[in-house]
A = this chain, B = another copy of it.
Amino acid sequence: MKFLKYMLIFIPISLIAKFMNASPSLMFVLAALSIIPLAGLMGEGTEEISFYSGPKIGGFLNGTFGNATELIISFFALKEGLFEVVKSSVAGSVIGNVLLVLGASMLAGGLKHKTQYFNKKVVEVSSSMLLFAVVGLCIPALFTHTVDPKLLNTRYEGLSIFVAIIMITIYILSLVFSFFTHKEIYATASEEENTATAKWSLKKAILVLVVATILIAIESEFLVSGIEPLTKTLGLSEFFVGIILIPIIGNAAEHSTGIVMAMKNKMDVAIEIAIGSSLQIILFVTPVLIFLSLFFTPMSIEFNQFELIALIVAVLIVNRVSSDGESNWLEGVQLLAVYSIIAACFFIL
């Protein structure tokens, strides 16, 4: 991912553009181009730290900070009250990971290796966990969409917080599961990586993380301020920005890793990136956003109906795809086809 490094040039460009009072739409584009390499650096930094912290804390850091970029962008959107953007970017991250990243990985890997095999057992644990997480996340919305709002009582407001507490509890328990009670399931998968050694000193890794976080925060503010002007200029809806553009920006680094892994015939890793990242979004990022929103205006956990459909479709497909332990280029094409149809639907909004 050498080319990602060159994209860091967009950070000074965006700062200069800001001082020259560039239009918000231009700032959106420049901020997006800056965030992509910063998210990559952030991932690299977390990985380097994990060499020093040992596998358990490292795994926890990787898991928890892997989606820091999305969390920061969403935080600024939340502060601006752009709830629809926040929620659609949660849905979009899951869909993007499961359809776009996994599809591109299977296509790229499948063209090179014909049929690729992955550890069914590990993938089944994650994909069935994703089914639970998505189902749990969608139930409150499905409920309130199908019930006459007049029937809901005052306890209603606590529902989102209740679900957020459940989600983050499951998240913590899943870490206990994978690092303590059932760590042997994941043993063979990570063995190979253990032979790698740190490239950076611990000091450098921490420094990179801190600087990247600050820069992402600055660029996220540019990005979020540009959303409304951009949607007006291009005639796009906030949903399109939230469900398609922001997840691509926030996950680009991760996405390219997934595809590279698939081309190296490490399909297990590619799938774990896609599903694992989706799980963290639902079980960690979403509840944290719900809790943070309590400091501004409380955000409900309810998705709109089409976000629900897209989420459920994505999770059903990933469960189907993972159930045979094999993948090929045609499966990749089909995942991409479903993604493009979903994107087209949001494009006409």
Contacts and interface: CB of A to CB of B under 8 A. Distances in A.
Interface of A: 114-115, 121, 124, 128-129, 131-132, 135-136, 139-140, 142-143, 146-147, 151-153, 155-156, 158-159, 162-163, 166, 169-170, 173-174, 177, 181-182, 235, 237, 304-306, 309, 313, 316-317, 319-321, 323-324, 328-331, 333-335, 337-338, 340-342, 344-345, 347-349
Contacts of A151: 237, 349
Given A142-B309, A334-B132, A337-B132, A152 B344 contact: no
17 contacts: A114-B181, A114-B182, A115-B182, A124-B324, A128-B321, A132-B317, A135-B338, A136-B337, A136-B341, A140-B344, A142-B306, A153-B235, A155-B347, A156-B348, A159-B345, A181-B329, A319-B320
Nearest to A133: B334
Nearest to A331: B128
User: How many monomers of this chain does the complex have?
Assistant: 3
Contact of A348 (B152, B304, B335): B152
Nearest to A121: B324
Contacts of A153: 235, 348-349
Given A128-B321, A136-B337, A320-B131, A328 B143 contact: no
Given A306-B142, A349-B147, A349-B151, A163 B341 contact: yes
Contacts of A166: 337, 340-341
A161 to B, nearest CB: 10
Contacts of A330: 129, 173-174, 177, 182
Contact of A140 (B136, B155, B177, B345): B345
A121 B328 CA distance: 13
Given A131-B317, A334-B129, A334-B170, A309 B341 contact: no
A79 B260 CA distance: 50
